[in-house]
Amino acid sequence: MLSKWLNVEVEGCDLKDVDDQRQHSDLGAPCGIGTADLEDQPMAEFLKAGKADEIAPGQARRVEIGGKRLALFNVDGDFYALDDTCTHKGGPLSEGAIAGEQVTCPWHKAKFDIRTGEVLGPPARQGVARYSVRVTGTDIEVEV
């Protein structure tokens, strides 16, 4: 499993929450994450990425926040954020074709699940990072 907070591979552990992984590891389980691994990690925070009315359903927009270039998607009124860079050759996912909950890279047609970042079709073999999104009033905020 890949921890969305730490961006480290956690083999042998199916827990999704970092605190659960740390507790699991402290009990001698093979998670591979201990308290020392968490101390140097910056705290994630929600940063404003745009306004909800700026991205129509079925559309995407590239945003740069927290030093990251992200693709922000509106799927039927729900907002999602992924790394904007295709894992195949670096194409801009924010410029890709959107069909339901899927985005197709404009360069070589790799397909990704907008909700999870999971790769759905070649030539990419690795998914892209997904970021938590919330809407506060009319502001879209992304956790980076």
User: pLDDT for 13-47, tens place per residue?
Assistant: 555 555 554 444 444 444 555 545 555 567 889 99
Domain carrying residue 34: 1-41
Residues 4 and 75 in one domain: no
38, amino acid identity: L
Residues 56 and 72 in one domain: yes
Residues 19 and 76 in one domain: no
Cα–Cα distance, 123 to 53 (Å, whole number): 33
Residues 34 and 52 in one domain: no
pLDDT tens digit string along 65-117? 999 999 999 999 999 999 999 999 999 999 999 999 999 999 999 999 999 99
Residues 66 and 131 in one domain: yes
Residues 31 and 60 in one domain: no
Residues 25 and 81 in one domain: no
Q: What is the dihedral of CA 31, 34, 37, 40, to 10 degrees?
A: 140
Instruction: Output the furthest CA–CA distance in the chain (Å, rounded).
Output: 48
> Which pTM does this prediction carry?
0.72
105, amino acid identity: C
Q: What pLDDT is attached to residue 24?
A: 47
Residues 83 and 18 in one domain: no
Residues 75 and 127 in one domain: yes
Q: For position 97, which CATH number holds?
A: 2.102.10.10
Phi, psi for 21 (deg, rounded to 5): -65, -45
What would the two tokens of residue 66 be? 């927290």
Q: What pLDDT is attached to residue 67?
A: 94
Residues 30 and 67 in one domain: no
User: How many separate domains does the chain show?
Assistant: 2
Residues 51 and 33 in one domain: no
Nearest CA to 77 out of 123, 125, 140, 126 is that of 140
What are the Cα distances from residue 123, in Å, to 43, 54, 55, 86? Answer: 34, 31, 28, 10
Question: pLDDT confidence of 132, banded at 50, 70, 90?
Answer: very high
Residues 32 and 59 in one domain: no
What would the two tokens of residue 95 be? 């410029």
